[in-house]
């Protein structure tokens, strides 16, 4: 079982491009998974365009990873044990860091669909 973690930018970019990321993750995944977000993602979504839509999409569909940290979501992602995790992000810098660590990444391609890279 893989843990697929959604980054804040990924959620917002997917909504802006009208990509159904839940169905797209299902389409590209030939393995079992659960979709999660960090509790800090809710803080990062505050006062952003499409905040309400993002919250309604996430409600009851994702598991929330609780943290006791004031770190940003990107730093929390980078601090994870890399076993059986896949990160969904649109952040170019974060993608490069994850690639160096051989952590699989799901991202938006051509503003239409999702692809997965670095799969082990």
89 has a pLDDT exceeding 90: yes
Lowest mean pLDDT among 23-27, 81-85, 108-112: 81-85
- Dihedrals phi, psi of 105, to nearest 5 degrees: -130, 135
pLDDT of residue 120: 60
Query: What is the per-residue pLDDT for 70?
Result: 84
Question: Concatenated DSSP letters for 51-88?
Answer: HHHHHHHHTTTSEEE-------HHHHHHTS--TTEEEE
Q: Residue 24: its pLDDT value, please?
A: 94
Q: What is the pLDDT of residues 91-100, one digit of tens each?
A: 999 999 999 8
Output the pLDDT for position 92.
92
Residue range 8-31, pLDDT digits in tens: 999 999 999 999 999 999 999 989
Each residue's pLDDT tens digit, 41-82:
988 899 989 889 999 999 889 999 998 888 888 888 888 877
Give the residue carrying structure tokens 């993002």.
54
Pick the CATH number of 2-113 from 1.10.357.10, 3.40.50.1240, 3.40.50.720, 3.40.50.1010: 3.40.50.1010
How far, in whole angstroms, is CA 8 from its chain's centroid? 7
| Sequence spans of domains, the chain | 2-113
């Amino acid at each position: 079982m893989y843990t697929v973690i959604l980054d804040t930018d990924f959620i917002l970019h997917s909504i802006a491009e009208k990509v159904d990321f839940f169905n797209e993750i299902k389409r590209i995944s030939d393995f079992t998974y659960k979709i999660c977000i960090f509790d800090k993602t809710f803080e990062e979504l505050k006062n952003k365009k499409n905040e309400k839509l993002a919250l309604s999409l996430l409600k009851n569909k994702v598991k929330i990873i609780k943290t006791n940290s004031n770190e940003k979501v990107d730093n929390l992602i980078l601090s994870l044990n890399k076993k059986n995790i896949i990160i969904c992000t649109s952040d170019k810098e974060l993608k490069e860091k994850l690639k160096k660590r051989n952590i699989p990444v799901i991202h938006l391609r051509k503003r239409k669909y999702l692809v997965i890279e670095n799969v082990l």
